[in-house]
A and B are shown apart, each in its own frame.
Chain A
Amino acid sequence: MRTEGAVFHQPSRYYLWRSRVIKILTYLTLIAIAVIMLIPFLWMILGSFKTVREAMQFPPTFLPENPTLDNYREVFSRLPFARYYLNTVITSVIPTVITVFTAAMAGFGFSKYRFALGSFLFWLILATMMVPYPVTIVPLYIMAYRVGLVNSYTGIIAVNLSSAFGIFMMRQFCLSLPDDLLDAARIDGSTEFGIFFRIILPLTKPALATLTIFTFTGNWNAYMWPLLVINSDRLRTLSLAIPLFNGQYASFPNLVYAASTMAVLPVIVLFVFNQRYFTEGITMTGMKE
Chain B
Amino acid sequence: MWFKLQRRIAPYVFVLPGVVFYLMVTFIPAVIGIALSFTNWSIITPNFRWLGLRNYERLLGDQVFITSLKNTFRYALWLIPGVVILSFLLAILLNAKVKGMVVFRTIYYLPMVTPIAVASVIWMWIYDRRAGVLNYLTGLVGLPPRNWLNEPRTALGAIAVMGIWLAVGGNVVIYLAALKGISQSYYEAAEIDGAGYWQKIRYITLPLLRPTTLFVVITTTMGALRAFAQMNIMTQGGPLRSTTTIVFYIFQTAFTDLRMGYAAAMSIVLFLITLVLTFINWKFLGKGVSYDAD
Asked if the two chains touch in their complex, CB atoms less than 8 Å apart, one says: yes
Which positions in A face B, CB cutoff 8 Å?
A: 1-3, 6, 8, 26-27, 29-30, 33-34, 36-41, 43-44, 58-60, 98, 102-103, 105-110, 113, 115, 118, 121, 124-140, 143, 158-159, 161-169, 172, 175-178, 186, 189, 191-193, 196, 206-207, 210, 214, 217, 221, 223, 239, 242-243, 253, 256-257, 260, 263-264, 267-268, 271-272, 275, 278-289
**Looking at chain A's contact residues, is the secondary structure mostly helix, strand, loop, or mixed?**
helix
Task: Give the tally of cross-chain contacts (CB within 8 A).
Answer: 294
Q: Min CB distance, B70 to chain A, in Å? A: 18
By beta carbon, the residue of chain B nearest A275 is B102
B17 within 8 A of A: yes
Contacts of A138 in B (CB 8 A): 43, 254, 260
Check B117 against A242 for contact (C-beta < 8 Å). yes
For the complex, give the distance between the alpha carbons of A283 and B181 in Å. 4
B104 touches A109 (CB 8 A): no
Q: Is the CB of B23 within 8 A of A124?
A: yes
> Which of B48-56, B73-81, B269-277 interfaces with chain A?
B269-277
Q: Are B19 and A58 in contact (CB under 8 A)?
A: no
- Of B102, B118, B247, the most chain A CB neighbours within 10 A belong to B118
Taking a contact as CB atoms under 8 Å apart, the answer to whether A257 and B118 are in contact is yes
Specify which chain A residues have a CB less than 8 angstroms from the CB of B173 in the assembled complex: 210, 278
Q: CA–CA, A102 to B193, complex, Å?
A: 45
6 residue pairs A–B, Cβ–Cβ below 8 Å: A44-B118, A177-B293, A196-B14, A221-B115, A264-B113, A264-B115
Report the bound CA distance from A107 to B22 in whole Å.
Answer: 13
Report how far A214 CA is from B107 CA in the complex, Å.
Answer: 15
Determine how close the nearest CB of chain B comes to the CB of A170; give it in whole angstroms: 9
- Bound-state CA distance A135–B267 (Å) is 7
**With A128-B26, A134-B250, A284-B211 known to touch, is A109 a contact of B11 (CB < 8 Å)?**
yes
From residue B178, how far is it (CB to closest CB) to chain A in Å?
Answer: 5
Contact A39:B110 (CB < 8 A) given known A26-B93, A124-B23, A210-B174: no
> Hey, which chain B residues are within 8 Å of A124, CB to CB?
19, 23, 27
